[in-house]
Amino acid sequence: MGTTTDTATSACAMAGSRCAVPSSAMRVISTLEQAGHEAWCVGGFVRDSLLGRPISDVDIATSALWEQTESVCLAAGMRVHRTGTKHGTVTVVCDDDAFEVTTFRVDGVYSDARHPDSVQFVRSLDEDLARRDFTINAMAYHPMRGLRDPFNGFGDASRHTIRTVGDPSQRFQEDALRILRAARFSSQLGFSIELETYSAMMAGKSLLSKVSSERITAELQKLILGKDVCRALLSTVDVLSAVLPELVSMKGFDQCTPYHSYDVLEHTARAVAGTPPYPLVRWAALFHDMGKPGAFFKEETGRGHFYGHAKISVALTRGIMERLSFSPAFKERVLILVERHDEVYEPTPKAVKRALARVGGDVELFRALCDLKKGDASAQAPAYAAERMERADQLRRVLEEILAADEAFSLKHLAINGKDAMKAGIPQGPAIGDALNAALDDVIDERIPNDREALLAFLENFASSINKE
C-alpha cells in the first residue's frame, strides 16, 4: 500500500522538510478537532510545501460533514459559504483567508469520464486519499501529526515521478482531464511520468473528447507556462496530439537547413522554453512554425525552404484557437505574432516605429514580438542563435529608447487628429485616414516634425492635392 504514517513522517524530517501551515489554516483545523472531528491539509499545498515551491491555496479535508463544519466554524466567529455542498465542500473564511473544507469522501461512478455521478462521505482519511489522481497529490499533513502518505507520494516526489494512485487506466477512465494534468504537472514540476501511467494515458487519450474545451485550454496553458515545458512537450506529444493533432506533422520533421539543428517539434519546444512565461508569447511560440511541414520543399542541393510558412501557421493557429477556448482579442494578438514572427526589422528608430505602426501602436504586443523572436532564435543552430538573439535584444532596446523620448509611432501620438483634417478641407471618409497615415509616415521618416503647426500645413497641402484631382 505504501509507507506508513511514521515512515513518511520520518522521511519528511530527514529531508529537512516541513509544511508551513498558515496560522489561519491551523485555527480552522484546531476548531474542527476541538469539536471532536479530524482535519488535515491535503492536495497541492502539501506537495508544493514539501517541494519548496510557492504556496497558493490550502485545502482541508475533514471527517466532519459539511453541516458540522459550517456550524462549528460559524460558532468560532468565521464566515462560511456553501460553495459545493453536493460534494461536501464549504469555503471557510478565517482571518480574511479562504479555505475549501471538504468532508472525507469516496467517489461513485464517473459516467461522463469527468465528474462522479455521486459521492459517499466516509470517516477515513486514507479512503479519501485513495480517490485522488496522483500519489504526489494524495498526501495529507497535520501541524501536530506530520505527514500522512499511504501511497508513497513523498517517495515519488523525491524521485521526480508522476504516478497515479492505484490502477492508471481506472483513474483516467474516471476523469479524462487527469491525462492532461499529468502532462501539465510534468511541465510545472520537472517530473517524469511513470511508464505504466504514461501507457494508460496513451490508451485513454481518446476520452479527452468528452472534456470541455475550457478545461482543456486551461490545462494546456498551465503546461506551456511550466518551467520544464520543452521536455514535457517532447515526452508527451503523442498524448497531446489528441487535443492538438497539428503537433503530429512537426514530430521528426527534418528542416534540412544549416540554420536549424532540431526537427520542427523540438525547435518549437525549445522556442517556447526560450520565451518568458506569460500566455501571449508562449502560445505564439507554440504555434509559430506549425506551417513549416506544409510549406516545405527542397532545392536540388537538398537544402530545405519554408517560404510562406507563417501564413500557413496563421491558418492552423486560427483553427486551433477557435476549437479551444480563447477570447477574440487574445486570439487576434496571437495571430499577429505568428504572422510577423519571421519578419526582419532593422534595429533603428525608423524601422521600429514603422513596425509599431503596423501593430496598431500596441507596445506590449511589440515587446511580445521581441520576446518571440529571441525565443525563436535561441532554438536555432548554435552558430546563428547568439547573433539573432542579440538582434532581438537590440530591437527591444530601440523600442525603450523611442518610448523614453516619447516619439510618435501611431496615429494617437500625432499632434493632429481627424477633426483637424476636416477643417483643412479634406472630405469625410477614407481620405481622412489616408491623410493622417501619410502624416504619420512623414513623421516616422523624420521629413516633418511631430509639431502641430507643421502638421496642419501638411494637411492643407494634402487637401489641396485632393481638390486638384
pLDDT at 466: 80
Q: What is the pLDDT of residue 113?
A: 64
Strand spans (E) along 146-287: 146-148, 161-162, 192-193
pLDDT given at position 118 = 72
Radius of gyration, alpha carbons of the chain: 29
pLDDT tens readout for residues 52-62:
998 888 999 99
- The pLDDT score that the predictor gives to residue 8 is 40
Q: What is the pLDDT of residue 436?
A: 92
pLDDT in tens, 165-197: 999 999 999 999 999 999 999 999 999 999 999
pLDDT at residue 3, as a whole number: 35
Is 240's pLDDT higher than 70? yes
Q: What pLDDT, on a 0 to 100 scale, did the predictor assign at position 4?
A: 35
Predicted local distance difference test score (pLDDT) of residue 300: 86
Kindly indicate the confidence band of residue 469, based on its pLDDT and cuts at 50, 70 and 90: low
| H helices present in 288-425, as ranges | 292-295, 309-323, 328-340, 349-358, 363-378, 382-404, 418-423
**What's the rounded Cα separation, in Å, for the pair 287 and 160?**
29
Paired with 142 in beta bridges are 146
Q: Is residue 6 over pLDDT 70?
A: no
CA distance 169 to 200: 5
Average pLDDT (351-363) is 92
Cα–Cα distance, 415 to 360 (Å, whole number):
17
Average pLDDT, the chain: 92
Residue 468 is predicted with a pLDDT of 67
pLDDT score, position 2: 36
Q: DSSP label at 405?
A: T
Q: What pTM does this model have?
A: 0.89
- Confidence at residue 112, expressed as pLDDT on a 0 to 100 scale: 63
Mean pLDDT, to the nearest integer, of 299-322?
Answer: 94
CA-wise closest residue to 395 among 340, 463, 459: 340
Which residue shows C-alpha cell 519554408?
Answer: 306
What fold does the segment set 5-159 form as a domain?
A: Beta Polymerase; domain 2 (3.30.460)
Q: Is the pLDDT of residue 296 over 70?
A: yes
Average pLDDT over residues 269-280: 98
What pLDDT shows up at residue 49? 93
pLDDT tens-digit readout, 329-341 = 999 999 999 999 9
Q: What is the mean pLDDT of residues 67-83?
A: 98
Cα separation values, 111 from 116, 117, 200, Å: 7, 7, 19
Q: What's the pLDDT at 108?
A: 73
Q: pLDDT tens for residues 15-33?
A: 445 788 999 999 999 999 9
